Amino acid sequence: MADLAGDREGLLLKATMTSAGPQKGLSFIGWLVLLAILAFVGSTAAKIVPHYMDYLSMKKIIETAGTDRTADITNAGDLYAYVAKGMQVNNIRDLDLNKALTVTTENNRFLAHLNYEKREPLIQNLDLVVKFDHEFSVGKP
């Protein structure tokens, strides 16, 4: 009888040692899914971030036009020339300045309206669209 009790304890111990416990970590398929998601997010960011950087550069160029004492900006044409030069310095090539920027003069100030959108192909017929629309009030230096 003692041997039978010992065998039963041994079987219980053996069963608990070989039973599957909770899995820790990701499986191979889990890692593949995670990598696919990270690749998609990284690819999307790589397509959008340059457009935001160009927009921030354009914004800074236009805002600087009102405070740059060395620039002789007296009319809308001078402001366009100043912004075009800033675009050249910042290597912004894929933006048509005449379509993206409209400038009017009001009360000894320039009202500049920067309005454009950029499209990047994502997957087949799906595009990422980023739209930029900002108005500036630029004082004459």
Per-residue pLDDT at 139 exceeds 90: no
Strand runs labelled E in the chain: 101-106, 109-123, 126-139
Query: Of the candidates 116, 135, 1, 10, which has an alpha carbon nearest to the alpha carbon of residue 62?
Result: 135
* pLDDT band at residue 25 using 50, 70 and 90 as cut-offs: confident
Average pLDDT score over residue span 110-132:
94
Question: How many residues can be counted in the chain?
Answer: 141
C-alpha span between 105 and 72 (Å, rounded):
15
**Whole-prediction pTM value?**
0.75
Q: Give Cβ neighbours of residue 48 (< 8 Å, ≥ 6 apart).
A: 120, 128, 130
Asked if pLDDT for residue 81 goes beyond 90, the answer is yes
Cβ–Cβ < 8 Å for 113, 101: yes
d(CA 123, CA 126): 5
Extended strands (E) in 39-125: 101-106, 109-123
Collapsed DSSP state (helix, strand, coil) of residue 28: helix
What are the structural domain ranges in the chain? Answer: 50-141
